[in-house]
Amino acid sequence: MAWFKRQSGELDSSGEKRVRTEGLWVKCDNCRQIIWKKDLEDNLDVCPKCDKHFRIDARTRLAQLLDEGVYEIFDDNLASTDPLKFVDLKSYSSRLEQAKAETGLKDAVISARGKMNGRPVIVSAMEYAFIGGSMGAVVGEAITRAIEQSIATSNPLVIVSASGGARMMEGVISLMQLAKISAALARLDEARVPFISVLTDPTTGGVTASFAMLGDLNIAEPGALIGFAGPRVIEQTIRQKLPPGFQRSEFLLQHGMLDAVVPRRELKPYIVRALDFMSPAAA
């Protein structure tokens, strides 16, 4: 017989044991430092220690770029109809439902009217959290309408890309958006209204292959992954090892694919200055 017997109920193992700290601290996956989340947010979601630019959602982006964080959203009622009734591991319609619930958006872009330093602008910001920011018929239509708004009002256009490319669940319909948007941008060009393309981490596939690289200025955030095909596919095709930093903004700037790499803190002043230069009359 044991000399010690635990009385039942003596230890209370139920209930919360840990103090809730989750969400207060973030680990930077570049420098591995622990950062206080508030510090990170105050620094526009850029690591204060190593300058890594964290991904931000479309609403945060609009709030950072537009005066007083004030903007008016338009064309937010468009939603995909799943034209191919596509199913992979999950059905596309259930993916759409999940993404809608998680982001509160109908698709992967928000278009807004607002002001930058007092100048009226149209800004479309892509939402990476919505099925990888992929471009289907809705994103294509929303961006085309934003371009048409710019043409109608002569207000400059800024598109902030964050996308894995065309949305494969919409097959050829998503690929058609490349041509549609490019044609709209050609009309914007004829109307002589400026378009600044901001490429953020990541901007790949069909988005790079269409509007993201068609700006009057193509600028990127530091360290952003920008490319068309992934590095593994390219290595297998050309049978060569790719250089370090390949497909990052700094590498692309060096090789003439971008006009500038602009840190997030300087992004708004940079765009404002560029627009003053491109259309001084409207200032």
Q: Which residues contact Zn ion (rule: CB under 5 A)?
A: 28, 30-31, 47, 49-50, 52
Q: How far is the CB of 26 from Zn ion (least distance, A)?
A: 10
Nearer CB in complex with Zn ion: 141/201: 201
The dihedral through the CA atoms of 158, 128, 58, 49 has a sign that is negative
Q: How far is the CB of 11 from Zn ion (least distance, A)?
A: 41
**SS3 state of residue 143:** helix
Q: How far is the CB of 27 from Zn ion (least distance, A)?
A: 9
Q: How far is the CB of 48 from Zn ion (least distance, A)?
A: 8
Q: Which residues of 243-269 are buried (b: 16+ CB within 10 A; e: fewer)?
A: eeeebbbebbbeeebbbebbebeebbe
Nearer CB in complex with Zn ion: 42/102: 42
Q: How far is the CB of 32 from Zn ion (least distance, A)?
A: 7
Residues 6+ apart with CB under 8 A from 57: 103, 127, 128, 129
CB contact at 8 A, 58 and 127: yes
Nearer CB in complex with Zn ion: 167/264: 264
Nearer CB in complex with Zn ion: 46/146: 46
Nearer CB in complex with Zn ion: 122/224: 224
> What is the DSSP secondary-structure string of 20-54?
--TTTEEE-TTT--EEEHHHHHHTTTB-TTT--B-
- Cα–Cα distance measured from residue 257 to residue 76, given in angstroms and rounded to the nearest whole number: 32
Beta strand ranges found along the chain (DSSP E)? 25-27, 34-36, 71-74, 109-116, 119-126, 157-163, 195-203, 217-220, 260-261
Locus of tokens 């903007």: 71
Q: How far is the CB of 45 from Zn ion (least distance, A)?
A: 11
- Cα–Cα distance measured from residue 118 to residue 278, given in angstroms and rounded to the nearest whole number: 16
Q: How far is the CB of 22 from Zn ion (least distance, A)?
A: 19
Nearer CB in complex with Zn ion: 43/153: 43
Nearer CB in complex with Zn ion: 46/65: 46
**SS3 state of residue 133:** helix
